Chains A and B, each alone.
Chain A
Amino acid sequence: MQSTGERLLPMGRIQVLPEGVANRIAAGEVVERPASVAKELIENALDAEATEIEISVKRAGLDELMVTDNGWGMDREDVLLAFRRHATSKIETAKDLQFITHLGFRGEALPSIASVARVEVLSKRDDRDEGVRYQVDGGKAGESMPAARERGTTIKIRSLFFNVPARRKFLRTPATEYGHIVTGFKRYAVAYPELHWKLNKDGSEVYDLAPTDLRGRILQLFGDEAASHLHEVSERSGDVVLSGYVGGEGLFKRSRGDQFLFVNRRPFQSSSLHHAVVNGFGPLIQPGEVPFYVLLLRLDPEEFDVNVHPAKHEVRFRDESQVYRTVLMGVRGALGVAIKKGDSPVKLRPAQVRDGRGYSGHDLMRPTPAGPRDHMRELNLMYGPRGKKTGDSEDSSSHLRDAGFPDPRSDSERQRQGGPVIGFSGDLSSTAEPSAAGPSSQQDHRSSHSQPVPASQAPLAGKYDPHEGDPLPAGPAPDAGALSHAAGEKEGRPGEGQRTNVWQLHRTYILSQVKSGLVIIDQHVAHERILYEKALAAMRDRPWNGQQLLFPVAVQVEPADAAILEEMREGLARTGLEIEPLSGRDWAIKSVPAGIRIKNEEKLLLEIVTDYRNQYEIRLDPQERLAASFACKAAIKAGDPLNLDEMNALIDELFLTQYPFVCPHGRPVVVNLTLHDLHALFGRE
């Protein structure tokens, strides 16, 4: 290698790395398979600041792989230099290696590729009048000649590995190789949503992705259904900035594939950060399920090292644990926020927005036409920006409204205002009329009291129709409508907030039919979650009413616990549980929280004291500890019979909590069996 980089600079933009630099880059095989060729060429295109990148493959790139961009382009000198090993336009000195912000810095891609394939380059630099055509066959340079072309570069790779039979032998089937190409394509398309991306396969268009934002790109790639499952991630910890999306239950997969990690827009893989994401989901995800995520890390290039492996799939972070924590907290925050909005990340899927045109389908491989992006914008509006911008003045109900949670206070209001209403597909509150009745009859029961909705808006206000846009193929299986029909008719109380298809199982679980299948709620932890949040709210701002007792209940406590009672007394009083010291170890309970079925006040109080005393959760403040103890002990237990009203109220209140899916101890509250799951169990699919 020659150290001629600096001299060459004025002539062309491609430089040959100084030898020292070249040596510091681990030599390695860059070209493993067609997908790695595509990746290198894409990165070159990105480095050339292209705004449109098109990849065309024939027989999975084994026969031909072509990448066309509209970037700077190269002139003759650039092209010639590009095919010299370790030529790169990106790094000038060893020092620059520390500041790698470009993607294809290795400068070894083109020569490597050229050594194992027939390569044809057609390029025009934006400041030149004419373009250049150049061919290299298995490393043997051909002639360069002037050619006509618009600004940009087209690199066509044919007969990959034609001279390396051993390598060719190790290639998988075209389908597999194509799969790798698509995966790579998606990664870059997601990382650069502002660019126009195209992918063609054997002469036909697979993707044509118009410039959009990250969310839009995800929808383009994964279908509009994904919209309702996406939860925005936004986290910052020191210099580490994390953004992106995680997918809720509807996007869970059994195997990995749709997980995207980027650092400064560079795709990479990391089992450690994958673990952080899964960890962030906690009990919301079952073992064996893999969440969907697109996470972009932004941090100082000095804080990580991409020069680990020539294929650059891995990244080493200087402070790995900080990145891990950021991802973990980011995912948790996203899910927390999602839940707060009533837009559940698991199991209960919010319905898609109706735009009156129906859905564009859910074929993940099908590019989405430009149209639905309008509707995506609506979605963004509906969901609104996360947290920060919503402002303190807004009450929690407006969050719910924004997210389309079936908020009884605001449904009618929203309808009057027009605009799409995001329903709640796992709508526990509707008795699910037969779907044949059409969307207008599927209005939220709560809204049926309200003003009539103009016909044109009726579909907007409608509930999620199980037939439309449901990612579960309805097929010949009994559809949700038919299933709910029977249950709904049994005790139809139209117009009332009563769902009747709710059952108690073994006095422990509440089962309810939802449109997507079956929801199972653990009654104790559900109530515990409700009480926890209520108790906390009661202590902080809105005291709970206390049902006064005719006979104050005498409680005798250990002397050591008397101090604890003193400490808890005020907080408890705010939950409606008023206690009063009598003398020495004797206390009296004067009232109990209204509306809680408390079987034995004395036992409750003693249990709360014990639980409170034994809690070592230092992360909780005293109020939270008290609320946790109170919730755990005052909640209905497994074994308590519940009537329909109680179950309904429990479900309603559960879904008004911030985190309806996890109990204060981290156990899951709600488990869902989708119709899909059920069908699978019965071998229907």
Chain B
Amino acid sequence: MRFTVSQADFQEAFGSVAPVVPSKTTLPILSNVLMELEGNTLRLVATDLDVSILTEMEVQGERDGSLSVPAKKIGDIIRELEELDITLEADEGNRLQIIAGEGSYQLPGISSEDFPSLPEFEGAIEFSIPAETFDRLVQRTSFAVSRDELRPALTGVFLQLRPGELRAVSTDGHRLVRIIDSHFTYSGEPRELIVPVKALEMVRKNIIGDEDVKLIVGSNQLMAKMKHATLYSRLIEGKYPHYENVIPKDNSDRLIVSADQLARVVKRTQIFANPISRQVVFHLERDQLIIQAEDVELGGKGKESLPATYTGEDKQIGYNSAYVLELLKQIETDEVLFELGSTTAAGIVRPTEPREGEDFLMLIMPVRLN
């Protein structure tokens, strides 16, 4: 394998696959990026076995061939190079030679034969999502997925495909996000899938401009086609919980407050919360919201009130401040609406004005105050 490529192009292409490379792995080959040259097309592949990504680029090919090379090393050197064009060449001993102006660098690779092959893919369902929608869906949902590997279903984003409607849901059991996009152009059979959050994040990162992302769903896989890259992901098996059941129907107490101001008040008061539980208490009173935090063990407390519109009974609800702040980050309107029920039941958080064609709500579970 031997080719010459512009340093900038190569760096860009490399940068789109490199994030898939797992930072820690027991399988050394997964730390590598596969390079395959066919004519003037160079293909770069990275995988962590769950998620694989492939990108192709034009190079000046001289000799076809392939080799896998350590992603970290090659990323580092490419970034540092100043030459416009660089030549990469693999030798018989699986070494990669990088020639850039007066510099020549060599690093050991691993034969491409040892690199995991891309999954055989047979798509059954195909649909497209506009880049902007996809971006929003992922951004709104990814923060709330669970990190609990023992409950894999919750570690992904739940997608429900219905004719004319796409729902994306994520939850870690303490909070939940549901976003319904009613601009969805889909006319096939309803389908539900749980996608690893990493796959969605990778697609999001690789979207260029306002292209549509084409998604193809197989029996247990998903393929995302973008202009410059293709991503394959295993789907998470398992049953997603019946989230609709936990969305309260009759939370009649309504709190409307400036999202930005609330976030700033919570940020301030939570400094005085116990650093582990990070609990803040919302004192709900007519036309006033008091946020209070106290660290009983270590001492210190904070309290601040802010104007709010509240209709409902006076009450106190405890929340994990980190959850509150994350939720508020997702609010694009000036004000945020809380629809609350009992002090131990889920509260609904949503923008005061829904976006056109989008139904967006979040749930937050309180902390029972003893």
Which residues from chain A sit less than 8 Å from chain B, CB to CB? 397, 407-409, 542-551, 553, 574, 576, 578, 591, 594-596, 599-600, 603, 645-646, 648-649, 652-653, 656
Interface assignment of B148: CB less than 8 Å from any CB of chain A: yes
Encode B166-200 as 1/0 by CB contact (under 8 A) with A. Answer: 00000101111000000000000000000000000
Q: How far is the CA of A544 from the CA of B275 in the complex (A)?
A: 15
* Chain A, residue nearest B273 (CB): A595
Q: How far is the CA of A656 from the CA of B299 in the complex (A)?
A: 11
Residues in B with CB closer than 8 Å to A648 are 275
Decide if B365 touches A652 in the complex (CB within 8 Å). no
- Which of B41-49, B76-84, B124-132, B276-284 interfaces with chain A? B276-284
**Assuming A594-B320, A594-B367, A656-B298, is B174 touching A547 (CB within 8 A)?**
yes
* Chain B, residue nearest A408 (CB): B299
Q: How far is the CA of A200 from the CA of B318 in the complex (A)?
A: 71
Residues in B with CB closer than 8 Å to A397 are 299
Encode B141-177 as 1/0 by CB contact (under 8 A) with A. Answer: 0000001111100000000000000000001011110
Within the complex, which residue of B150, B345, B363, B367 is in contact with A547, where a contact is CB–CB below 8 Å?
B367
**Assuming A550-B365, A653-B297, is B277 touching A545 (CB within 8 A)?**
yes
Considering residues A547, A646, A652, A653, which has the most beta carbons from chain B within 10 angstroms of its beta carbon?
A547
Interface assignment of B61: CB less than 8 Å from any CB of chain A: no
Decide if A550 touches B276 in the complex (CB within 8 Å). no
Q: State how many angstroms separate the Cβ of B324 from the closest Cβ of chain A.
A: 13
Decide if A551 touches B148 in the complex (CB within 8 Å). no
Residues in A with CB closer than 8 Å to B363 are 550
Decide if B367 touches A548 in the complex (CB within 8 Å). yes
**Assuming A543-B370, A600-B148, A653-B297, is B277 touching A550 (CB within 8 A)?**
no
Q: List 20 A-B contacts (CB under 8 A).
A: A408-B298, A409-B298, A409-B299, A409-B300, A544-B370, A545-B367, A546-B367, A547-B174, A547-B320, A549-B365, A576-B370, A591-B344, A595-B274, A595-B276, A595-B278, A599-B147, A645-B275, A649-B275, A652-B275, A656-B297
Q: State how many angstroms separate the Cβ of B188 from the closest Cβ of chain A.
A: 29
Decide if B150 touches A546 in the complex (CB within 8 Å). no
Q: How far is the CA of A544 from the CA of B171 in the complex (A)?
A: 24
Within the complex, which residue of B147, B171, B246, B318 is in contact with A545, where a contact is CB–CB below 8 Å?
B318
Q: How far is the CA of A548 from the CA of B341 in the complex (A)?
A: 13
Q: How far is the CA of A596 from the CA of B149 in the complex (A)?
A: 17
Residues in A with CB closer than 8 Å to B366 are 548
Q: How far is the CA of A576 from the CA of B174 in the complex (A)?
A: 14
Residues in B with CB closer than 8 Å to A545 are 277, 279, 318, 367-370
Decide if A550 touches B174 in the complex (CB within 8 Å). yes
Decide if A548 touches B368 in the complex (CB within 8 Å). yes
Decide if A599 touches B148 in the complex (CB within 8 Å). yes
Residues in B with CB closer than 8 Å to A594 are 277, 279, 318, 320, 367
Interface assignment of B241: CB less than 8 Å from any CB of chain A: yes
Q: State how many angstroms separate the Cβ of B2 from the closest Cβ of chain A.
A: 42
Q: How far is the CA of A648 from the CA of B297 in the complex (A)?
A: 14
**Assuming A408-B298, A549-B173, is B150 touching A600 (CB within 8 A)?**
yes
Decide if B365 touches A547 in the complex (CB within 8 Å). yes
Residues in B with CB closer than 8 Å to A548 are 344-346, 365-368
Decide if A653 touches B276 in the complex (CB within 8 Å). yes
Q: How far is the CA of A407 from the CA of B151 in the complex (A)?
A: 40
How many of chain B's residues have a CB under 8 angstroms from any CB in A? 36
Decide if B367 touches A550 in the complex (CB within 8 Å). no
**Assuming A408-B298, A547-B320, A550-B176, is B274 touching A599 (CB within 8 A)?**
no
Residues in B with CB closer than 8 Å to A551 are 171, 173, 241, 246
Q: How far is the CA of A408 from the CA of B176 in the complex (A)?
A: 36
Residues in B with CB closer than 8 Å to A408 are 298-300
Residues in A with CB closer than 8 Å to B369 are 545
Within the complex, which residue of A407, A549, A595, A600 is in contact with B279, where a contact is CB–CB below 8 Å?
A595
What 4 pairs between A and B have smallest CB-CB spacing?
A595-B277, A409-B299, A543-B370, A649-B275
Q: State how many angstroms separate the Cβ of A404 from the closest Cβ of chain B.
A: 16
Residues in A with CB closer than 8 Å to B150 are 599-600, 603
Residues in B with CB closer than 8 Å to A574 are 370
* Chain A, residue nearest B247 (CB): A550
Residues in B with CB closer than 8 Å to A544 are 370
* Chain B, residue nearest A578 (CB): B368
Q: How far is the CA of A591 from the CA of B318 in the complex (A)?
A: 13
* Chain B, residue nearest A648 (CB): B275
Q: State how many angstroms separate the Cβ of A337 from the closest Cβ of chain B.
A: 20
* Chain B, residue nearest A498 (CB): B275
Q: How far is the CA of A317 from the CA of B171 in the complex (A)?
A: 68
Q: State how many angstroms separate the Cβ of B292 from the closest Cβ of chain A.
A: 14
- Given A407-B299, A595-B274, output 12 extra A-B contacts at Cβ < 8 Å: A409-B298, A409-B299, A409-B300, A549-B174, A550-B171, A550-B176, A550-B243, A550-B346, A550-B365, A594-B320, A596-B276, A649-B276
Q: How far is the CA of A409 from the CA of B299 in the complex (A)?
A: 5
Q: How far is the CA of A652 from the CA of B176 in the complex (A)?
A: 32
Q: State how many angstroms separate the Cβ of B280 from the closest Cβ of chain A.
A: 11
* Chain B, residue nearest A646 (CB): B276
* Chain A, residue nearest B176 (CB): A550
Considering residues B149, B174, B246, B363, which has the most beta carbons from chain A within 10 angstroms of its beta carbon?
B174
Q: How far is the CA of A584 from the CA of B102 in the complex (A)?
A: 77
* Chain A, residue nearest B370 (CB): A543
Q: How far is the CA of A574 from the CA of B370 in the complex (A)?
A: 8
Q: How far is the CA of A293 from the CA of B148 in the complex (A)?
A: 50
Q: How far is the CA of A521 from the CA of B6 in the complex (A)?
A: 50
Residues in A with CB closer than 8 Å to B176 are 550
Residues in B with CB closer than 8 Å to A553 are 173
Q: How far is the CA of A648 from the CA of B174 in the complex (A)?
A: 24
Q: State how many angstroms separate the Cβ of B22 from the closest Cβ of chain A.
A: 15
Residues in B with CB closer than 8 Å to A542 are 296, 370
Interface residues of B in 317-352 (CB under 8 A from A): 318, 320, 344-346
Residues in A with CB closer than 8 Å to B370 are 542-546, 574, 576
Residues in A with CB closer than 8 Å to B243 are 550
Decide if A652 touches B367 in the complex (CB within 8 Å). no
Q: How far is the CA of A548 from the CA of B150 in the complex (A)?
A: 19
Residues in A with CB closer than 8 Å to B149 are 599
Encode B51-65 as 1/0 by CB contact (under 8 A) with A. Answer: 000000000000000
**Assuming A550-B365, A600-B151, is B298 touching A652 (CB within 8 A)?**
yes
Q: How far is the CA of A445 from the CA of B274 in the complex (A)?
A: 18
Q: How far is the CA of A397 from the CA of B295 in the complex (A)?
A: 13
Residues in A with CB closer than 8 Å to B276 are 595-596, 646, 649, 653
* Chain B, residue nearest A656 (CB): B297
Residues in A with CB closer than 8 Å to B277 are 545, 594-595
Q: State how many angstroms separate the Cβ of B20 from the closest Cβ of chain A.
A: 20
Q: How far is the CA of A210 from the CA of B297 in the complex (A)?
A: 44
Residues in B with CB closer than 8 Å to A546 are 367-368, 370
Q: State how many angstroms separate the Cβ of A138 from the closest Cβ of chain B.
A: 74
